[in-house]
Structure 1
Amino acid sequence: MQSTLALLLGALALTNAQPTQRAQAAEPSHVPNAYFVHLRNTTADGGRADPKAAFHRKCAEKAVAYNVRYEFNDSDLFYGLSVSLSNDSAVDALKSIPEVTHVSPVRWIPRPELDTTFADNSAAAFESNLHHAVRSAASHHAKRATSADAAAVDFNSAHRLTGVDEAHAAGVRGAGVKIAIVDSGVDHRHPALGGCFGSGCKFSFGYDLVGDAYDGYDPSKIAPKPDPLTTCLGGFHGTHVSGIVGMDATETNDTLFSSLVGVAPEAELGMYRVFGCTGGAHEDVIVAAMQRAADDGPHLISMSLGGYAAWGGDPSSPYLELVAGLKRRGIAVVAAAGNNGESGPFWLSDPAIMPDALAVASVENSEFPTYELRDDGGESHRYGALYPFPSGNYTAVVAGDGSAQSEFGCFSENYEALAANLTGDISNYVVVVKRGWCPVTVSQQQAVANGFTKILTFPDPDSDNIFIQGYGVPVVAVVGNGTIVSIGSTTDSTIYDAIKTNGEVKLSFTDKTPVLEEQFLGGQMNNFSSVGPSWDFALKPQIAAPGGNIISTYPLGGGGWAVASGTSMAAPYLSGVYALVKSQHPDLSIDEIFDILKTTAKPLLAAGREDYSPTPQQGAGLVSAADAVFHQTTVSPSQFELGGTEKLATVDTTITLRNPTAEDVTYELGHTAANGMAFYPYGNSAPDNLGWSDGRYINLAPLPFAASIKFPSSTSVTVPAGGSASVAFTVSPPTGLDPKEIPIYSGFITATSSLNETLSIPYVGAPYDYATTPLIGLDPPTPGIHDANRSVFAAPQVYQYGSKLAQGAHQAYNFYDDDTPVFRYSLLQPTRWTRVDVVDAATDFVPTWYGYDPTQAVTNYTRTSMTPNGTVAGVEVLGNIYLFSGDTPLTQLSLQWSFPLRDVTGTTYVGLKKGGYRLLVQWLRFGGDEEKREDWESWMSGIIESTRDAYEGPVNGTVV
């Protein structure tokens, strides 16, 4: 979570802040004037004073105007409240109240985004030499199930992939386990979801915290109600998620999908609605939902939502206390890792990133329903679709105006002229759309907006993106008259080629019987699945589950069923498996079940390759429900976070094997290396340093390095019946790698037992000394170059905005118009804190690095009359101009100082008087102590002199 100031910084403060360009979905933003107030719970420690009463009293004394949004009264979870302030300047007053431990912004959380499978995000994939993996449809789609009776087709392919079908066959179906879901509500009228709400129903508990009209912007639209029923199609997400966990269509009259069952169909479900029919949600609504769910006593909370987070240890995050407190109560949190795989490594979501949550990655489903169509030459083609197209003969036309780009159908104009030139009823046409540039959801929306209700997509034959080759469709769309839009997908360009050759092709749709075909890359990692590790090198995600092209329940108004893709689908799947294990082993703790799930998971090969995907992409691998439910051996720990080489010596690399059986068991220990990876995988191979910093070069390219693992005692160990044994191993990280690339190595410790068990423990580490690697560039800057062509390895510098001349030991500015200083630097390593403070020019502080020659004294300047505002690890500072928590490597930070100083907390303006100053830039690494001066690294500028009292202070307000 970012600091208060970081989320408040606007154009006034940062005229040009340029983080490394990384593709991303909608990300959290600060809700204006809304804050979490973390309180010190003295009553829980036996104190007699009421912290909340004291807070309200002291706010009145300080004349702080506020409204309470939510109160959080569970002392063992998150204790405090959220408030709306009349003015952000009151934040500093809140922080000064003794009962307050943290004040942090309430964020706007975007509603979960799905169906990124077919976007052109091949840069995030393993893209080296992948053409060999793209085969014709005839060779990679083997028929798995056919039937003259559509209802006899078993659509539970994900269960066959994970062994859930074996658990069900043994009668393990989640009975006795309560699962709470925090999402967009549920259409519990659906027969497969029980058809009712309340005692005795499948959905027996829950609450709607927001109502239909809530959009995450206008709190006046909040309309809570006891029943979390959601019927709008915009709120489909929670209904789809719910079906994955616990649907049961086998007792319904559905003619097509009566075979579908959720992972834990006998579990008791609860829904806590935090999204309306449109828009996002305020973060305090989500926290309130989690606490309300906790009070209803579930065994776990499943969360398919979140926003970007750099690391899980930020004390200002309400999730840190909350998830830890839920675990102490015996309530597990299973959360989606995120759908930002196209953004490259180190891009995760909270609450999944929290240390006590289980973060889930997504794997492609193994099979897809297909139907037959025939062209006017009598040739048969298979197309993947949820529902078959309406019977009839239709004319196929290609989207666009004939240009290659328009054929992707990503824009309205790609259909407007086409529709205008057609003769007769537009419903008699099938529009053929190339996929691979934008998500198919976008193509669907644009086509429907222009009147098309039958859409057939095919993979771009010129693309090397293997992830567009398989079948896939977006969620169901319904036009105004209630008609469900028909959309299907083929795996080759045959129909498109025929149209281009012949000018017109007729397609005949008569087949209504689905055939399940093997999905290309089925059972392998989805490229949209977010990739870790966190920026403090913690292993996230920790496990994977089916999340690509999952069929599940949908609001009845949209037909009742839909296909969707995302870690949003993987998290409830894993939640269901957790419930299966818990129902079979009710006395196991959260950590014990997490350990079992991870160590029985199956490591996955990289998509389209013969080597293993890094653990920061797949965690422990694909969940194996049958192995987890019917486990015998247990192993702990279930993951190793080795950190940089400076930390490795302090990590206890020992595993403990426990044999609960009545016979001795022998284990053979081994090692499976995964591909190396790096934040900047191309290093200096790209021109102009772009390989280090340009978003086009940040991806999950496989790199040929791995650790060496040794077992000093033996690779074989026999554990007696009912006993345990501990086995140590040593790790030798790969050497010779450039720390500036931020390389990551990973793999699995394996144990194969005489009981035919195969267990594995994932690990992750950084093969360099993070503690001593320079955080910033230190090369001499090239004179006169201050724009994007500035080397990312150049040392920090200050220059005059108007003239672009670099400042030396001293420069005077009038802080008016262009006569202001600009500070620019690049960050090469992740940091827990970045501060740009201002100190008296006469300071005797010795920084790590100087931005001037300290042997040359400068005396011809005016001393400032400003006095220290506070201290940072013992150093007196006059104020602050930039503050950021969880700062990540970035190309350039360009900060024009054209505003008054803020106080040391970065909250309230304190002005800027005439006189001399220096910028003191300070960085705290992950693992460092904020109070220890030796843990901070710093760079200090030459003298920046203000020739006038530029800004009065204190100023009533903060940056907005």
Structure 2
Amino acid sequence: MVRLSLAACLFAGLSSAVQFDTVEKKKSSSRLPGAYIVEFEDGKSTSGFNKEVAGQATTRLEFDYKLFKGVSIQFNDLEKADDLAANIAALPAVKNMWQVKVYSIPDPQIEWVGTPGVDHAISRKKRAINETEADTFSPHVMTQVNKLRAKGITGKGVKVAVIDTGIDYKHPALGGCFGPDCLVSFGTDLVGDDYDGYNTVYPDDDPMDCQGHGSHVAGIIAAQENSMGFTGVAPDVSLGAYRVFGCDGEAGNDVLIAAFNQAYEDGADIITASIGGASGWSEEPWSVAVSRIVEQGVPCTVSAGNSGDVGMFYASTAANGKKVMAIASYDNSQYVALLNTSHYTVNDSSTKIEFGSTAGSPAAWGGVTLPLWAPNYDTTVVNGGCDAYPDDTPDLSGYIVLVRRGTCTFVQKAQNAAAAGAKYIMLYNNAGGTSAIDVSTVTGILAAGMVTADLGAQFISLLKEGSTVTLEMSDGSDGKVTLTQSRNGVTGGSVSTFSSWGPTWEMDVKPQFGAPGGSILSTYPTKKGSYAVLSGTSMSCPAVAGIIALISEVRGTLDPTLIENLLSANANPQLFNDGSKFYDSLAPVPQQGGGFIQAYDAAYATVLLSHSSLSFNDTDNFVSVLNFTIENTGSEDIEIDISHIPTTTVYTLIEDSIYPDSFPNEFTDGAASLEFSESKVSVGAGDSVTIEVIPTPPEGLASERLPLWSGYIAINGSDGTSLSLPYQGLAGSLHDAQVLASDDTWISKSTDESLAAVPANTSFTLPAAGTNDSSATLPALVWYLALGSAELRAEVIPVSLSAPNATSKSIGEPANFPMLWNAMGSNSLAWAGKLVNGSFAPAGQYKISYRALRIFGDASESSDWDKSESPVFSIKYAE
């Protein structure tokens, strides 16, 4: 009796692939020049370190924590930084030394934001399949939070720390105050308003949010009752606000390490961060720091990332850390739209009909009363407004132009309309709900907005009949808002297409599981509108943190391993969806981990599994047998059936290529088979049994394309227990996969953001050795990694004018090398001629010779490095 079936729970929600535009994407990290994190050995004198850096560096942050002792420093002279860093790394007191990297503020897609200074009066219009259903908050229904809340479980007494942009604690729904007796009861500002990731931090005790992201996250966890009709997952927890971003910019991993450790020492029971960047390596310093905290008994949730379009093996740090819960996003079961209330008339009728729209940018809709005009009456057109309007188009300055969303950018649609005189443009969606659009760069457009697909079709139908449809627009200043919710069978409950895929480069299962992250209503700073609907794994991650608080209240424990196992085992794996339809197989484990979490089932489960997942690694490191334990903590004996349901195997690489495929990756027939030491067992009350799992990887696959196989072990009990255990493996060798092609390194200009290659033998004039000139155009050393590499090295090779093809001896590594724990993709370094040893390359012709260590490679083996040489370029120095 296998209750885990292919008809896993289906919901309706955001159809991002159909909409042709993107949601939140976190940028990869970049190095902060001349900045290092230094961790000290416990009990060893740091006098040597102090002597070495005296007068040479300034302190960014001090780490005087139980789990992390050290300092982050910024060398005063960037030209000497790498020499000094090498000396410091060799000191007996230094345990670890890492480069400081910076991570961007997450940029979720904005579906709707309230109007600042306005108390919104909600007009609720629910359109559900069953109109008798209670109008409950859909993310809570999807995750069974509503069932726990019905039992009075609210997270009381649990301290949840939010590492983010701060929290607007003055928001009425976020408690209205900051301090021991407030909802936001603890925390600090580690950076100050003006911090941008690269400059000096100015910490203070006030973690007020001036950006918005952290306030939205906080409301998902613990929002109090409000006029918008929702509350947070666990409204009785105590929130901690640890601000790591200024009002704009980025945050260094040294700041993030400090924030996690400070939250830990302040007694946080759970720590959550919706921050990160592409990595895939658990050895990253931020990941290491978070893993240590989890090992001390504090669950940590970190968003899995928002680069689902990149494809597999794009796990984000610090979510890729050992024992850290990486949280995927699933689409909301409801299209949630909060729309400014306006009116329209048909054929100049005196009857005004109410409708809602989302204002875009610009948004000068106040007092606008104009008829609609549409370039196309086809409500299925995929490229509406993407082409230039015909010559006989009327002057559109007296109309609101109605265009269907799809294919080309919003800006392109607005440009075509503006070219015909339009000042106002209204898009209608090609999926459920609406979102804010930004066409502020288009000259002539005064206001833009979006209405729902249904309303747009209704308008088009009237125009097609020859009717005049006149819109009387509101700019939202009256505060009237229409809340609409509607089910959608296209992608609801599926993994959001923007959610990043794992696994890590060492085949750890990532993500662990997921929660609703698409189209989530929550709080926003009062100065920015008080409430907003946003989409991203930034939204699913705090939901899981709140759910952990609820589970801990029920079970009386915060043990991270137990809670992770409970959440994974009781999650519902979902069918794969490419953004347009569901398929008849479960989504692969590297996309969804254990699946969509079910809070109530996890909280009250009496049958426990000893693992949250199983990884059999790749062919070279194949684990021929793994085991897991089933423990019956109930009062009655139960009979257990064990079986498994494979997912479709997914190719990592493009055919006949060393490069990864992008989403949706190619699926292939063939799945692993599993044998169990026992497929039927009796587990007595208070007893446990251990089950061995023996996999047979699929055969006949193109192993050079790195096919990843996965699936779910189903554990079904006579007491109604229905659990699942995700597993994965790789039918190929990660070690044998090339990570750097011989021609994937080139020279660009440091001023060229596109990193376009310059012609061979291009000459650069560099600032005089030892000087800085921010206006200079330097050679940018560019490399493109097909897969991740734990270490990238480079050598500067002189090229003889008389024998350009001759191989000369290296004069050293460029400053800032080696690069450690690299994600796949492109990266670059602006080079001013400095070498790691502190000297400067003489004027002349050079090429850069690179070596990238393969996955699972041995750095001492030459054959484990992929090699590439850049084209020749010349340098000389200014006088």
Which category describes the TM-score, using the shorter chain as reference length? 0.7 to 0.9
CA separation of 1:828 and 1:786: change in aligned 2, threshold 3 A: closer
Aligned to 1:197: 178
Aligned to 2:756: none
Aligned to 2:41: 41
1:539-550 to 2 correspondence within 5 Å? 539-550=509-520
Residues in 1 aligned to 2:604 and 2:332: alpha-carbon distance in whole angstroms:
23
Question: Contact 1:472–1:549 at 8 Å: present in 2 too?
Answer: no
1:331 aligns with 2:259: no
Amino acid at match of 1:577: I
Question: Contact 1:376–1:506 at 8 Å: present in 2 too?
Answer: yes
Question: Contact 1:545–1:622 at 8 Å: present in 2 too?
Answer: yes
Amino acid at match of 1:759: L
Aligned to 2:453: 490
1:223-242 to 2 correspondence within 5 Å? 223-230=202-209, 232=210, 235-242=211-218
Could you tell me how far 1:662 is from its partner in structure 2? 1.5
1:753 aligns with 2:717: yes
CA separation of 1:88 and 1:347: change in aligned 2, threshold 3 A: farther
Aligned to 1:677: 650
CA separation of 1:518 and 1:473: change in aligned 2, threshold 3 A: same
Could you tell me how far 1:623 is from its partner in structure 2? 0.8
Aligned to 2:72: 81
CA separation of 1:733 and 1:884: change in aligned 2, threshold 3 A: farther
1:677-696 to 2 correspondence within 5 Å? 677-681=650-654, 683-684=655-656, 693=659
Out of 487, 495, 511, which is 1:518 matched to? 487
Out of 327, 330, 350, which is 1:360 matched to? 327
1:279-290 to 2 correspondence within 5 Å? 279-290=249-260
1:722 aligns with 2:686: yes
Question: Contact 1:117–1:439 at 8 Å: present in 2 too?
Answer: no
Q: Per the alignment, in what secondary structure is the counterpart of residue 552 of structure 1?
A: strand
Amino acid at match of 2:517: G
Q: Per the alignment, in what secondary structure is the counterpart of residue 751 of structure 1?
A: strand
CA separation of 1:206 and 1:319: change in aligned 2, threshold 3 A: same
Out of 597, 618, 622, which is 2:592 matched to? 618
Residues in 1 aligned to 2:305 and 2:707: alpha-carbon distance in whole angstroms:
22
Residues in 2 aligned to 1:831 and 1:762: alpha-carbon distance in whole angstroms:
27
1:532 aligns with 2:502: yes
Aligned to 1:150: none
Question: Contact 2:162–2:272 at 8 Å: present in 1 too?
Answer: yes
Could you tell me how far 1:615 is from its partner in structure 2? 1.3
Could you tell me how far 1:601 is from its partner in structure 2? 0.7
1:668 aligns with 2:641: yes
Aligned to 1:656: 629
Amino acid at match of 1:56: N
Question: Contact 2:310–2:663 at 8 Å: present in 1 too?
Answer: yes
1:345 aligns with 2:273: no
Question: Contact 2:798–2:844 at 8 Å: present in 1 too?
Answer: no
Aligned to 2:563: 593
Residues in 2 aligned to 1:498 and 1:729: alpha-carbon distance in whole angstroms:
59
1:243 aligns with 2:171: no
Could you tell me how far 1:67 is from its partner in structure 2? 0.9
CA separation of 1:890 and 1:582: change in aligned 2, threshold 3 A: closer
Aligned to 1:458: 428
Question: Contact 2:410–2:439 at 8 Å: present in 1 too?
Answer: no
1:554-569 to 2 correspondence within 5 Å? 554-569=524-539
Aligned to 1:926: 855
1:141-160 to 2 correspondence within 5 Å? 142-145=128-131, 154-160=135-141
Question: Contact 2:212–2:524 at 8 Å: present in 1 too?
Answer: yes
Out of 161, 174, 189, which is 1:208 matched to? 189
Aligned to 1:833: 791
Question: Contact 1:324–1:356 at 8 Å: present in 2 too?
Answer: yes
Amino acid at match of 2:190: L
Aligned to 1:422: 397
Residues in 2 aligned to 1:929 and 1:180: alpha-carbon distance in whole angstroms:
39
Q: Per the alignment, in what secondary structure is the counterpart of residue 323 of structure 1?
A: helix
- Greater fraction of residues in helix: 1
Question: Contact 1:705–1:734 at 8 Å: present in 2 too?
Answer: no
Aligned to 2:61: 70
CA separation of 1:919 and 1:382: change in aligned 2, threshold 3 A: closer
Question: Contact 1:484–1:559 at 8 Å: present in 2 too?
Answer: no
Aligned to 1:175: 156
Question: Contact 2:382–2:405 at 8 Å: present in 1 too?
Answer: no
Residues in 1 aligned to 2:186 and 2:449: alpha-carbon distance in whole angstroms:
36
Per-residue CA distance 1:410-436 (angstroms, 9 max, x = gap) = 9xx99xxx999534xxxxx76644333
Per-residue CA distance 1:90-138 (angstroms, 9 max, x = gap) = 22222222133444332332111111899xxxxxxxxxxxxxxxxxxxx
CA separation of 1:951 and 1:396: change in aligned 2, threshold 3 A: closer
Q: Per the alignment, in what secondary structure is the counterpart of residue 96 of structure 1?
A: helix
Per-residue CA distance 1:886-915 (angstroms, 9 max, x = gap) = 456669x9999x997945xxx644647999
Could you tell me how far 1:548 is from its partner in structure 2? 0.6
Q: Per the alignment, in what secondary structure is the counterpart of residue 856 of structure 2?
A: coil
Residues in 2 aligned to 1:349 and 1:547: alpha-carbon distance in whole angstroms:
16
Residues in 2 aligned to 1:369 and 1:773: alpha-carbon distance in whole angstroms:
44
CA separation of 1:114 and 1:825: change in aligned 2, threshold 3 A: closer
1:885 aligns with 2:814: no
Aligned to 2:98: 104
Question: Contact 1:385–1:473 at 8 Å: present in 2 too?
Answer: yes
TM-score where L is the length of structure 1: 0.70
Could you tell me how far 1:31 is from its partner in structure 2? 5.7
Runs of at least 5 residues in structure 1 that lack an aligned partner in the other structure:
1-21, 119-139, 148-152, 424-428, 461-468, 789-799, 804-821, 842-857, 870-877
Aligned to 2:432: 470
Could you tell me how far 1:195 is from its partner in structure 2? 1.7
Could you tell me how far 1:584 is from its partner in structure 2? 1.8
1:888-899 to 2 correspondence within 5 Å? none
Could you tell me how far 1:517 is from its partner in structure 2? 1.8
1:303 aligns with 2:294: no
Residues in 1 aligned to 2:829 and 2:304: alpha-carbon distance in whole angstroms:
32
Question: Contact 1:706–1:746 at 8 Å: present in 2 too?
Answer: no
Deviates more, 1:740-749 or 1:523-532: 740-749
Amino acid at match of 1:657: I
Q: Per the alignment, in what secondary structure is the counterpart of residue 162 of structure 2?
A: strand
Amino acid at match of 2:234: A
Aligned to 2:620: 646
Could you tell me how far 1:89 is from its partner in structure 2? 2.6
Q: Per the alignment, in what secondary structure is the counterpart of residue 591 of structure 1?
A: helix
Out of 558, 561, 577, which is 2:547 matched to? 577
1:746-785 to 2 correspondence within 5 Å? 746-773=710-737
Per-residue CA distance 1:17-57 (angstroms, 9 max, x = gap) = xxxxx9994624546534223233231xxx4x2x2x43111
Question: Contact 2:40–2:69 at 8 Å: present in 1 too?
Answer: no
- Greater fraction of residues in strand: 2
CA separation of 1:951 and 1:550: change in aligned 2, threshold 3 A: closer
Question: Contact 1:71–1:81 at 8 Å: present in 2 too?
Answer: yes
Q: Per the alignment, in what secondary structure is the counterpart of residue 669 of structure 1?
A: strand
Amino acid at match of 2:292: G
User: Aligned residues: percent identity?
Assistant: 27
Per-residue CA distance 1:504-537 (angstroms, 9 max, x = gap) = 4235899977553213422111111112222333
Amino acid at match of 1:885: L
Residues in 2 aligned to 1:787 and 1:101: alpha-carbon distance in whole angstroms:
35
CA separation of 1:29 and 1:335: change in aligned 2, threshold 3 A: closer
Residues in 2 aligned to 1:451 and 1:159: alpha-carbon distance in whole angstroms:
47
Residues in 1 aligned to 2:872 and 2:455: alpha-carbon distance in whole angstroms:
67
Could you tell me how far 1:437 is from its partner in structure 2? 4.5
CA separation of 1:670 and 1:518: change in aligned 2, threshold 3 A: same
Question: Contact 2:425–2:447 at 8 Å: present in 1 too?
Answer: no
